[in-house]
Chain A
């Protein structure tokens, strides 16, 4: 299936620079990954796909620590975003997370466990049904998914499971930013004798209960995950709530 507009028309409508417009294409994976066809089938099947430089995925080109590889997805240059899915082609568990920006800008920072060198990608579905795909290669020595969590070595985490710390920034260059850390082992289930145990869902709402963003997280998200997002037009106290795959819930207010 073809996407509904021509690339030229999209580039014109988005006021893209010639370089960005030239980088936009509907076929031929720019990251030249042998797994792309599978990824497309699994995550984007049947829908039009556009490799789109407006989907910015930032990660270190070489990651020293495969257990904590920082990834930032910024799709705020796109309008009408319904959903963002993040995956890593060569990970044993490829799906990292999905987020639904709703009232918040389409921006999310987090960290992932990588098993080997791989593209890390974000596919952004807009209301017209098109998947806009961006990504970057991360080189790593790997082992991030089959190494035990630090929590596995000590029972201390059990007392603090799902403990949330967070902060909002109201002033300075990062005004409007929200950062959040949740204590959780995020076990992948790939370490012998340790079943998968991970946070599945996080909801960010304002004081009145209106949802800013929903995040679905999977096994590759790093232990004690840290998230960075922007609250957008919403003001005041934020609430973060969610649960893990064992039904443990958390709810925490982050003061402004």
Chain B
């Protein structure tokens, strides 16, 4: 009887979808042996467990290349299982696109595989990884159990990379963070844009250099105009077949920085800037109001400084 009760309780908990710590990852085909796991357009919490990010993988003739490993050890493990359900080939390389925790904290599940990133990304993970992980333990709770930082052990550089029987073009950009790696799979024409591109979800800016980000978006838009281009996998939000999410990200950054510049010139205090309402066009944009407020904190001081003049 006791055992039956336990089973019933376990079923109930499973029905609520959180206590089994199952991200229910399902590989979504993108194009030509390329797949993505599409996360929710939300903030980290104890219900989504941090599954708010997109990851992906490319199945080559000789093996598999993984692009980003997700927000936790559990995510990385479940991702690897979900990949195995698509292909029995070995994972030969994991790439971390940049040093934000939702993109690399699943690395532990791939500890037996080379993990590559740009040099600055490796440094950033070594430097900030533990603090990022601590923060995610606070936000996502027990989903994070056992998660520890696994720093990438291989430095990637811009250029062509032959791996797993595939030819990848690595494009080293920056702007969302100090180092943002874009991966183009030449055979399929799929472009992994990392967090340089957000689709239907407001961009995050804690380490942004907006001027550089704009330059990166221009470069990305060029890549989508190449004849082989098939699909763009953004860091957050749905897969696109065109450059629309690039323009969406650019529009948000323009709106954000124009507003902060005007506010600083008009003499607004930070609390007044925080209180500005979002325009109707961003009504209902997932995380719009929250990311606006965060971005004020990250970016307003520089605009404020520009608006003030040296005292004499």
Contacts and interface: CB of A to CB of B under 8 A. Distances in A.
Contacts, number: 77
B298 A65 contact: yes
A72 B269 contact: yes
B308 A167 contact: yes
B268 interface: yes
A111 B270 contact: yes
B88 interface: no
B266 A226 contact: no
A25 interface: no
A67 to B, nearest CB: 9
B271 A72 contact: yes
A59 B271 CA distance: 7
Nearest to B298: A65
A8 to B, nearest CB: 32
Given A164-B311, A255-B312, A169 B297 contact: no
B271 A167 contact: no
A252 interface: yes
A169 B308 contact: no
A64 B294 contact: yes
A189 interface: no
A254 B308 CA distance: 10
A70 B271 contact: yes
Contact of A165 (B271, B294, B308): B308
A174 interface: yes
A141 B268 CA distance: 26
A141 B138 contact: yes
A60 B271 contact: yes
A174 B304 CA distance: 15
B283 interface: no
Contact of A167 (B267, B274, B301): B267
A180 B310 CA distance: 10
Nearest to B264: A179
A103 B270 CA distance: 24
Nearest to A107: B269
Contacts of A111: 270
Interface string A47-75: 00000000000111001110010111000
Interface string B125-152: 0000000000100100000000000000
Contacts of B308: 165-167, 179-181
A253 B311 contact: yes
Contacts of A167: 267, 307-309
A63 B296 CA distance: 11
B267 A179 contact: yes
Given A64-B293, A65-B297, A141-B138, A228 B269 contact: yes
Interface string B243-284: 000000000000000000000001111111010000000000
By secondary structure, the B interface counts as helix
B311 A166 contact: yes
Contacts of B301: 68, 224, 226
Contacts of B138: 141
Contacts of B135: 141
B305 interface: yes
A59 B297 CA distance: 12
Nearest to B311: A252
Contact of A60 (B293, B305, B309, B311): B293
Contacts of B297: 63-65, 68
A146 to B, nearest CB: 13
Contact of B267 (A59, A164, A174): A174
A180 B297 CA distance: 18
A240 interface: yes
Nearest to B273: A70
B310 A165 contact: yes
B135 to A, nearest CB: 7
A172 interface: yes
B24 to A, nearest CB: 29
Contacts of A141: 135, 138
Nearest to A58: B271
A37 B308 CA distance: 41
Contacts of A163: 310
A111 B297 CA distance: 11
Contacts of A169: 266-267
Contacts of B293: 60, 64
Given A164-B311, A181-B304, 9 more contacts: A64-B293, A68-B297, A109-B271, A141-B135, A141-B138, A179-B269, A180-B308, A240-B311, A252-B312
10 contacts: A60-B271, A60-B274, A70-B269, A163-B310, A166-B308, A172-B267, A180-B311, A226-B301, A252-B311, A252-B312
